[in-house]
Amino acid sequence: MGRRKKEPRSVHRENIASAASALFLEKGIAATSMDDIARAAGYSKATLYVYFENKEEIVSILVLNSMKKLYDYISSALAQHESTEARYRLICRGLVQYQEEFPFYFRMLLDKINIDFESRGCPPEEKEIYHIGEEINEKIKDFLLSGMEQGELRSDLEIMPAIFNFWGMLSGIIQLAAKKEEYIKKSMGLSKKQFLEYGFSLVYHSITTKEREL
The answer to whether residue 136 sits within a structural domain is: yes
Within this chain, do residues 154 and 175 fall inside the same structural domain, yes or no? yes
- Whether 84 and 107 share a structural domain: yes
Do 180 and 145 share a structural domain? yes
Q: Are residues 120 and 71 in the same domain?
A: yes
* Residue type present at position 66: S
Asked if pLDDT for residue 171 goes beyond 70, the answer is yes
Q: Are residues 110 and 78 in the same domain?
A: yes
CA distances from 12 to 16, 19, 50, 63 (A): 6, 11, 10, 18
pLDDT the model gives residue 213: 45
Of the candidates 114, 119, 1, the residue with the CA atom closest to the CA atom of residue 59: 114
Average pLDDT (66-75) is 89
pLDDT at 3: 47
Domain range for residue 29?
1-52
Q: Is there a domain that residue 27 lies in?
A: yes
pLDDT at 122 over 80: no
Please give the residue that has the higher pLDDT: either 4 or 63. 63
Residues 72, 32: one domain? no
Task: Decide if 212 is inside a domain.
Answer: no
Q: How far is CA 31 from CA 11, 12, 24, 54, 116, in A?
A: 25, 23, 8, 14, 26
Say if 214 falls within a structural domain: no
Q: Could you report the per-residue pLDDT of 141-154, keeping only the tens digit for each?
A: 999 999 999 999 99
Whichever domain contains 41, its CATH number is 1.10.10.60
**Cα–Cα distance, 134 to 95 (Å, whole number):** 16
pTM over 0.85? The answer is no
Rounded to whole angstroms, the Cα distance separating 28 from 90 reads 31
Domain tally, the chain: 2
